[in-house]
Structure 1
């Protein structure tokens, strides 16, 4: 059980890093005019926002797995 949780934790951490990198790359494609709030958001802006939302989601999953691991370790 513990090994499975550790594997899940590693997968969640990798997913967090991947989402972070993809979000940063998408953010770098955003133009200066978009950053000033001029005009509608571009596809790059929307993708950057979505990737950062995924990053937060994967981070939350990783934290929950750590809590479960610590709870399981405390019970033994």
Structure 2
């Protein structure tokens, strides 16, 4: 189970990076400010999910003890 949560956490962290890059490129282009805002909101949500998954994985594995 901990391998599954570890892999899932890595996937979510990768999604955070992708959304961040996409949002930054959209902001630099200056096309749609509303889209940039929505992408940054999505990034924050994905970061929260990643933190929850990291804490859950640590809880499952005993925190590395």
1:11-40 Cα distance to aligned partner (Å, 9 max, x none): 10011001100100111122xxxxxxxxxx
TM-score by length of structure 2 reads 0.89
Helix, strand or coil at the partner of 1:59: helix
Moved over 3 A (4+): none
TM-score normalised by L of structure 1: 0.77
Q: CA RMSD in A?
A: 1.7
Correspondence list, 1:1-76, <5 A: 1-30=1-30, 44-74=32-62
Number of residues of Structure 1 aligned to a counterpart in Structure 2: 64
Give me the whole-angstrom Cα distance separating, in 2, the residues matched to 1:25 and 1:44: 11
- Separation in structure 2 between the aligned mates of residue 7 and residue 74 of structure 1, nearest angstrom: 17
Q: Structure 1: give runs of 5+ residues left out of the alignment.
A: 31-42
Give the number of the structure whose alpha-carbon radius of gyration is greater. 1
